[in-house]
Structure 1
């Protein structure tokens, strides 16, 4: 059945909040890159976020004690979302602008939809796939703009940045769809996220130590404030809101936020990274957003409503 009015309200407000916050994170991540190796920044982020999410779980009355099968599910979510996904995003922003990373990441709805078809039986229609191809064409124009406007950017660096972004969004899609499976939804959500973030943080730390040695910290206020924003607002608050929406309306529709995030991200990139708009970049952004909106409309079909608080 379709979402009732009260169900729509339960989706619309959190949807708006996590979309606006996540739109700001791309530029904040850019500022995290420099003195501290990216994997250590990711590690710090999810050490803090895991503690914050554990407090949310206790506030919600959820037990943090693992039950049979719980840690396996938390490990899959933690490694895919809070390790592979975020290390991929941070690595991508070493090479290309934050707004462009956000725009490529807007294609998350495609792997979400395809994995949702495979794992959840939520089949996308042909119009959705065609509209997504339109969005890909627009993003291709943005790539061309990036190469033309940044003489320091080589095709190799661009492809590396895009490659890391695609790796990240595929990892995120695995987590999004996996946690919406019925056998995973039986676990308390916030406790699952707390453990997933903790497991992700451990994996992040192992990667960071293997690649960069002992941890380092930048005691600059901007770095520390950004770290707290990413850990508490963008991780604890946003994932506390996002995953209940995924469980309620499905991973394909929940990823519609990715169509709005690039607008915020590109605006911030213009202000703080010197992104310069040209006829080519305007055309690319317009075509990409048109494709994403068409993809959104094409998937507006009645669907079963699930209870995000179910067992």
Structure 2
């Protein structure tokens, strides 16, 4: 019971931090290019994680694990946050978080195929509730009111969700035996290299406006949203089945939508309220171990 309670405390912690981080990621575009921000964020996170690994005397991962860490770094860090930060130029923070956190659907499907994890009828219902909630929040008439840039941005974020889902499965298959600190430190390091290359090509020479706010945005997303939360994330997906570990992350867009409303003035409609209720019910059903 204590372990279960601790897992839910950790889930609530990272979903709150990630939900709030979407607001910072969106607002950071006022101070620097999207890829530059991602590079600074993950450089900060990677440095923090490497210091933790060094202070903990965990040591380097075995040489055989390096290619797998590169793959996870590309899938989870480079691809996801390169595409997401670009898309944030065109899409609200709340809606962007909503699309990315369709990730549990892809993780659950990939887990059923590659990990042979069974999905009970009750949990299937939870997935249906959660995904239905996402679709309702997006709005049935969304496409009819969107420009081509917005549609492309949404497709890029969905692709990011697929990439993140794939990285969860790859981690479980190839890296589950390693220290979670080790995995997060090295995947973030390799993923940051990919983002930095994109930033250098796409935004090299563009100015960065340094201020108390922009430094705070980089520090918060680098230390808490990246170093801390992704370490906890690897702990969760390493110790729970994929549905239990990933479905609660659907809470992130709920927090993202409400933080967007509270801090950025983004509109929260009736469909958002209905969808949020469905998402919460989906999270509850997916957490049940029986049924």
Relative to the length of structure 1, the TM-score reads 0.84
Aligned to 2:102: 107
Structure 2 CA distance for partners of 1:189 and 1:291, relative to 1, 3 Å: closer
- Does residue 287 in structure 1 map to residue 279 in structure 2? no
Structure 2 CA distance for partners of 1:32 and 1:196, relative to 1, 3 Å: same
Aligned to 1:309: none
State the shift of 1:134 in Å.
4.8
State the shift of 1:215 in Å.
6.3
* Paired residues, number: 291
Please list every run of 5 or more consecutive structure 1 residues that lacks an aligned counterpart in the other structure: 303-311
The whole-number CA distance in structure 1 between the counterparts of 2:97 and 2:16 is: 13
1:37 pairs, out of 33, 37, 52, with 33
**Paired residue secondary structure (1:256):** helix
The whole-number CA distance in structure 2 between the counterparts of 1:98 and 1:275 is: 8
2:117 pairs, out of 98, 122, 141, with 122
- Does residue 190 in structure 1 map to residue 181 in structure 2? yes
Bigger CA drift: 45-54 or 115-124?
115-124
- Per-residue Cα deviation, 1:41-82 (whole angstroms, up to 9, x for no partner): 11111111111011222343311x241321111101110111
- The 8 Å contact of residues 46 and 197 in structure 1, kept in 2 or not, is answered as yes
Structure 1 segments of 4+ aligned residues over 3 angstroms from their partners: 125-148
- Does residue 232 in structure 1 map to residue 223 in structure 2? yes
**Paired residue secondary structure (1:180):** helix
Structure 2 CA distance for partners of 1:145 and 1:212, relative to 1, 3 Å: same
- The 8 Å contact of residues 106 and 261 in structure 1, kept in 2 or not, is answered as yes
**Paired residue secondary structure (1:255):** helix
2:81 pairs, out of 62, 79, 86, with 86
1:275 pairs, out of 254, 258, 266, with 266
Please list every run of 5 or more consecutive structure 2 residues that lacks an aligned counterpart in the other structure: none
Counting helix residues as a fraction of each chain, which structure ranks higher? Answer: 2
The whole-number CA distance in structure 2 between the counterparts of 1:62 and 1:20 is: 29
- The 8 Å contact of residues 114 and 123 in structure 1, kept in 2 or not, is answered as no
- The 8 Å contact of residues 38 and 91 in structure 1, kept in 2 or not, is answered as yes
Alignment root-mean-square deviation, CA: 2.6
- Per-residue Cα deviation, 1:181-238 (whole angstroms, up to 9, x for no partner): 2x41222221121111111111111111222224643212211110100000101111
Relative to the length of structure 2, the TM-score reads 0.89
The whole-number CA distance in structure 1 between the counterparts of 2:176 and 2:131 is: 32
